[in-house]
């Protein structure tokens, strides 16, 4: 991915940052913090990367998966009894955050 600075000044108009392809998103990922980056009941996953010396580098709590409230799915009130039922919509969310140079990428996938 190439990101141009889009600055017309003489010193910047030809600059580009070669973000994802040049440096990689995975090895620049952050450790996520409970209550800050992800809320609710959360499952965290560590990320493991190989190094140039054939070792393994681990980023703890690199990816979080949690369920989010997504508003009211439906609500019904029985006019005869006065009883009300509400069902909330839920969605499963997987998130990660990484920084490459001065750019922050936040990946959130929901279903």
Residues annotated as part of the active site: 19, 103
- Pairing state of beta strands 103-110 and 2-4? unpaired
- Pairing state of beta strands 2-4 and 42-50? unpaired
Sequence-distant (6+) residues with CB within 8 A of 40 are 66, 67, 68
Please report where in the chains the tokens 């990946």 appear, as a residue.
107
């Amino acid at each position: 991915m190439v990101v141009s600075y889009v600055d017309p000044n003489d010193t910047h108009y030809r600059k580009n940052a070669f973000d994802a392809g040049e440096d990689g998103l995975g090895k620049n990922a952050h450790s996520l913090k409970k209550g800050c980056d992800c809320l609710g009941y959360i499952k965290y996953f560590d990320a493991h990367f190989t190094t140039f010396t054939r070792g393994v580098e681990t980023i703890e709590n690199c990816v979080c998966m949690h369920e989010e409230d997504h508003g009211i799915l439906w609500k019904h009130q029985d006019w005869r009894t006065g009883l009300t039922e509400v069902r909330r919509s839920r969605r499963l969310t997987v998130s990660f955050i990484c920084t490459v140079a001065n750019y922050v990428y936040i990946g959130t996938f929901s279903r």
